[in-house]
Amino acid sequence: MDPVHIIGAGVSGLGAAHYLAQRGIPSVIHETGDYVGGRAACLQHDGHAFEIGGKNFSSGWPRFNALLEEFAIREFQDQHPGFHIVLNDQLVALEKSKTLTGDLRLARALGLRGALQFRNFIGFAKQHSDKINYTSGLIETIEQRWDHAPISHHFTDALNAGPLRLFSIIMGAAEPDELYPSLMMNFASGFGKGSHHAVAGGLGRVHDGLARDKDIRLGSRITEIVTRDGRVTGLRVAAGTGTRVIPTRHVISAVPGHVLRRLVDLPAFGRVAFDRLRYFPLALINAVYDAPIFREGVHSIMFEPGSPLGHCSANRLDTPEHVRFTLSGRAAREVLECDDAQLIDIAERTFSQRLPIRARRRAVHVARHPGGICGYAPHFSGVKRDMLRAIDTIAGLEIAGDYLEGHTMEGCLTSAALAVERLAGSVPDAARVAA
Ligand SMILES: Cc1cc2nc3c(=O)[nH]c(=O)nc-3n(C[C@H](O)[C@H](O)[C@H](O)COP(=O)(O)OP(=O)(O)OC[C@H]3O[C@@H](n4cnc5c(N)ncnc54)[C@H](O)[C@@H]3O)c2cc1C
């Protein structure tokens, strides 16, 4: 049969190609960039593997762990065991594992009410972790109960300035007044499962496994999904100074929602739904020093509101001299237009205000994610239904991406598997091959 054309070689696009291949369906991936992995790419730079976005996974994620098993990837490295938050001008520890001393320390920093609210919230996410996702009914109950107002509205000021800002910055590159509780609950339940690790040597090994034997066209920028009478007929690709159309009847879009919105003509209700998705830009700096820049017991810091540095963590616990600075959040957006040298300077100066950097930098790489992280939308389940309904009006088009099932690599893989399932169910040829 004709190959399915996939737009984007991030985790979602590579995942879609992989799940198609499992059903014996060939694919062609079009990737505008010159590397695979998208926002979770792993780039070799100055002798280092620099992961420029997603890297940590949970042992509780079935699809991601199935890939690790399939590709015989069995060496992992530990993440930092907890965070420090700048709260009231102090570095306050936030441990991942629940301990009495941790609770007491938190209660002192947050006040009893804030500490209780926090424990209840996390407790609920953990207790219902199997039912909190963007396809289960429970997320809708959470949306109905909480999404009438942003995160900041629901919790104490200290909680918003501390742990909830940490979650907001990490999960959405945004502030608690810009994100909605259902997203935070989904994130807390997804990341709350299992233990967290990174792949030894970098995520590139996962991408290599996914990319093996696939037809991936780097430097192939899609400018339009061409449709006629409600069905896909081709993909318009940038070519030299013009464009050309590749005829195809089956397309999986694996680009972020805001990119897809510009590629295809959707009914008005679909355009409205896609426009409700929110993306928050960020820059991520990988830097390797000749000595650790954190001190004993501190491996990760979330900086205070108003700081251009969202957070900075040791990339792996066992290589503390390799760190990742993330310029994210409202104040960061004011400086993202600066050139690389200025961004590095801003990151190091901000960090030094907390822990003076006494080491020499040996290697550095700046990645910019103008689309950043998807901040979803309040009452997202309805938005998703409208997005899928709009896509359903175009025969031959399916969508995958981190704006559908949660913005983690597991969410991307789930969205990819569902897109392939829908396509195999609705495309007679594919269904025949699958059968
Ligand atoms: C800083 C950061 C940290 C993160 N940390 C984690 C983490 O620890 N764990 C985790 O699970 N997740 C994490 N994430 C989230 C995870 O990285 C993303 O959800 C995931 O990488 C998104 O993959 P995707 O394939 O949906 O999109 P993308 O990775 O954005 O892939 C889309 C691809 O499409 C290409 N493209 C765009 N337009 C076109 C076009 N017109 N034609 C052809 N190609 C096009 C892009 O170049 C890109 O390669 C993090 C994200 C960021 C930014």
- Looking at the fold, whether 46 and 175 belong to one and the same domain comes out as no
pLDDT of residue 94: 78
Position 393, amino acid? T
pLDDT of residue 367: 98
Q: Please, what is the average pLDDT of the chain?
A: 92
CATH assignment of the domain containing 34:
3.50.50.60
Give the atom of ligand 1 at the shortest distance from the alpha carbon of 8.
Answer: 34
- Looking at the fold, whether 295 and 175 belong to one and the same domain comes out as yes
Asked whether the beta carbons of 170 and 311 are under 8 A apart, the reply is yes
- Give whole-number Cα distances, 325 to 108, 223, 283, 347, 424, in Å: 28, 33, 8, 7, 42
* Least confident window among 73-77, 104-108, 236-240, 277-281: 104-108
Model confidence at 126: pLDDT above 90 = no
Q: For 3-12, what is each residue's pLDDT tens digit?
A: 999 999 999 9
Backbone phi, psi, residue 274, to 5°: -60, -35
Residue 103 domain boundaries: 78-194+279-376
Confidence category of residue 433, pLDDT binned at 50, 70, 90? very low
Q: How many percent of the chain have pLDDT more than 70?
A: 95
Which one has a higher pLDDT value, 106 or 26? 26
Q: Give the domain-ending residue among 332, 360, 376.
A: 376
Q: What is the arithmetic mean of pLDDT over 212-222? A: 97
Which one has a higher pLDDT value, 426 or 75? 75
- Give whole-number Cα distances, 173 to 149, 213, 260, 308, 375, in Å: 18, 35, 21, 11, 8
Q: What is the arithmetic mean of pLDDT over 160-170? A: 90
pLDDT of residue 435: 35
Q: What is the arithmetic mean of pLDDT over 136-158? A: 93
Q: How many percent of the chain have pLDDT more than 90?
A: 76
Model confidence at 16: pLDDT above 70 = yes
Give the atom of ligand 1 at the shortest distance from the alpha carbon of 221.
Answer: 42
pLDDT of residue 240: 85
For tokens 């981190």, what's the residue? Answer: 402
- Looking at the fold, whether 372 and 383 belong to one and the same domain comes out as no
Asked whether the beta carbons of 128 and 189 are under 8 A apart, the reply is yes
pLDDT of residue 101: 66
Cα distance between residue 160 and residue 178, in whole Å: 12
List the end-to-end C-alpha distance of the chain, in Å, as a whole number: 14
Give the atom of ligand 1 at the shortest distance from the alpha carbon of 198.
Answer: 8
- Looking at the fold, whether 321 and 370 belong to one and the same domain comes out as yes
Q: For 396-424, what is each residue's pLDDT tens digit?
A: 999 999 999 999 999 999 999 999 999 99
Q: For 24-69, what is each residue's pLDDT tens digit?
A: 999 999 999 999 999 999 999 888 999 999 999 999 999 999 999 9
Model confidence at 346: pLDDT above 50 = yes
Q: Give the domain-ending residue among 376, 396, 419.
A: 376
pLDDT of residue 45: 86
Give the atom of ligand 1 at the shortest distance from the alpha carbon of 284.
Answer: 1
Q: Which DSSP symbol is given to 304?
A: P
- Looking at the fold, whether 149 and 180 belong to one and the same domain comes out as yes
Quote the distance between the C-alpha of residue 263 and its chain's center.
21
- Give whole-number Cα distances, 412 to 47, 88, 237, 254, 357, in Å: 29, 37, 24, 9, 36
402 pocket-lining for ligand 1 (C-beta < 6 Å) = yes
CATH assignment of the domain containing 155:
3.90.660.10
- Looking at the fold, whether 87 and 152 belong to one and the same domain comes out as yes
Q: What is the arithmetic mean of pLDDT over 109-119? A: 82
Taking CA atoms only, the protein residue closest to ligand 1 atom 50 is 54
182 pocket-lining for ligand 1 (C-beta < 6 Å) = no
Interior angle at CA 282, CA 277 and CA 285, nearest 5: 150
40 pocket-lining for ligand 1 (C-beta < 6 Å) = yes
- Looking at the fold, whether 244 and 287 belong to one and the same domain comes out as no
408 pocket-lining for ligand 1 (C-beta < 6 Å) = yes
pLDDT of residue 98: 58
- Looking at the fold, whether 167 and 315 belong to one and the same domain comes out as yes
pLDDT of residue 29: 98
- Looking at the fold, whether 181 and 289 belong to one and the same domain comes out as yes
Distance 46 CA to ligand 1 centre (A): 23
Distance 206 CA to ligand 1 centre (A): 14
Model confidence at 143: pLDDT above 90 = yes
Secondary structure (3-state) at 131? coil
- Looking at the fold, whether 361 and 386 belong to one and the same domain comes out as no
Model confidence at 123: pLDDT above 90 = no
* Least confident window among 190-194, 198-202, 324-328: 190-194
Strand-pair partners of 322: 288
Quote the number of domains for the chain.
2
- Looking at the fold, whether 18 and 162 belong to one and the same domain comes out as no
pTM of the model: 0.95
Model confidence at 230: pLDDT above 70 = yes
Confidence category of residue 93, pLDDT binned at 50, 70, 90? confident
- Looking at the fold, whether 47 and 116 belong to one and the same domain comes out as no
pLDDT of residue 99: 63
Cα distance between residue 383 and residue 390, in whole Å: 11
Model confidence at 430: pLDDT above 60 = no
Confidence category of residue 331, pLDDT binned at 50, 70, 90? very high
Position 396, amino acid? G
Question: Which residue of 39, 171, 235, 327 sits with most ligand 1 atoms within 8 Å of its CB, as the best mutation to test the pocket?
Answer: 39
Which one has a higher pLDDT value, 92 or 160? 160
